[in-house]
Amino acid sequence: MKLSIEQVDLGGRRVFLRADLNAPLDHGAVSDDTRLTAVLPTIRLALDRGAAVVLASHLGRPKGGPDPKYSLKPVAERLEALLERPVPLAPDCVGDEVEGLARALKPGQLLLLENLRFHPEEEANDDAFARRLAGLADLYVNDAFAAAHRAHASIAAITRHLQPAAAGLLMRRELDALGKILEAPARPLVAVLGGAKVSDKIALVEHLLSKVDALVIGGGMAFTFLRALGHGVGKSLVEVDRIEMARSTLEAARRRGVQIVLPVDAVVAGGLDSPSGRAVSVRDIPAEQMGLDLGPLSVERFATVLKSAKTIVWNGPMGVFEKPAFATGTVALARAVAESAAFSVIGGGDTVAAVNQAGVAHRIGYISTAGGAFLEFLEGRALPGVEALTEA
């Protein structure tokens, strides 16, 4: 159990708060403030308890130096509106001027540091750079679960110089929700995996086989499994070098008594730009066509499995979800997850978008802000940003 911000005396202290404010920008303004609103409770808690907050984040992938395109200025402006208080932006994240601004902060005040990735030392987990960041505050709080799988200076090395290192409210919620899945889930536990490639999810599939009661597989990755079962799948996406792995996964699941549920029909078309498709059995996919979405029978089959679940974890769309003609299966699955009485956890950008598009986000047990960190945690891997936190 990691130390939480609520367990730390914050009064009169400067808190270095590592957040994930990596929001999409459009014409110099934040176009989606989901990640910003997610960290507001932690910021407000710290300020209300008499702390001064030094807020830090990365934005995008600047090429190892300052780049106005990746400035956190639009983030500061949006945060100011959300918090209804001033959010001054420092000219950098380290240096004499920044140290002066941090020292001048009074309880209840906030300073946003400029993009951490303007210094290549951040991604190199450089110790000297981490020590300079640590010098800005009296204690450390990490609320950036979405970046916790990266051993970067503001996530890992900084905790060698700044203690205690506590989890923010969002980080704690993420760890609680994901821990509930892996440590003591209500059963049956059903994992739903989609997305294009098996190769992206191999480690996850292997780890989940020892945890779940059923594994539902859709999206492009399903066709590699269908090929492993001997089905002709036309021009559907198949990773030929993963067919043998899919076959051995199916065999391992059979030995463990884990049900693997694959599509029985698919919506097929000539290509990604086809205006529409038609549903056919997975046994009857024409040689010149490709599967681009779940068919109605597969949706029904998947929904039946979810109905009996007590815990559901879902990552990855069921088809070429970004094309309206092939989004039906993913949206229907989102509704089936919401209608289940199970505790549900979803993660990954496309999956979150599907739940929002289906209008059922408020009926999901927990929506993770993370993509890569969410998958690595479910794979059973230690996350540097979690490991670095102080034990409670």
User: Looking at the annotation, which residues are catalytic?
Assistant: 35, 197, 349, 372
CB of 106 closer than 8 Å to CB of 48: no
Give CA–CA dist 142/149, Å, rounded.
12
Cβ atoms of 54 and 103 closer than 8 Å: no
* CA gap 348, 293 in Å, rounded: 18
Instruction: Give dist(CA 146, CA 303) in Å, integer.
Output: 29
Query: What is the CB-side half-sphere exposure of residue 8 using CA atoms within 13 A?
Result: 29
* Rounded-to-integer distance, Cα 297 and Cα 323, Å: 21
If you ran DSSP here, which 8-state letter would residue 218 be given?
Answer: -
Give, in order, the Cα–Cα distances in Å from 357 to each of 37, 328, 330. 19, 11, 10
Q: Report the phi/psi class of residue 294: left, alpha or beta, with left for phi > 0 and alpha for psi in -120 to 50.
A: beta
d(CA 166, CA 183) in angstroms, rounded, equals 22
- Measured CA to CA, the distance from residue 369 to residue 90 in angstroms comes to 26
Cβ neighbours of residue 178 closer than 8 Å, sequence gap 6 or more: 345, 368, 374, 377, 378
Chain mean position to CA 132: 29
Tokens of 37: 């609103």
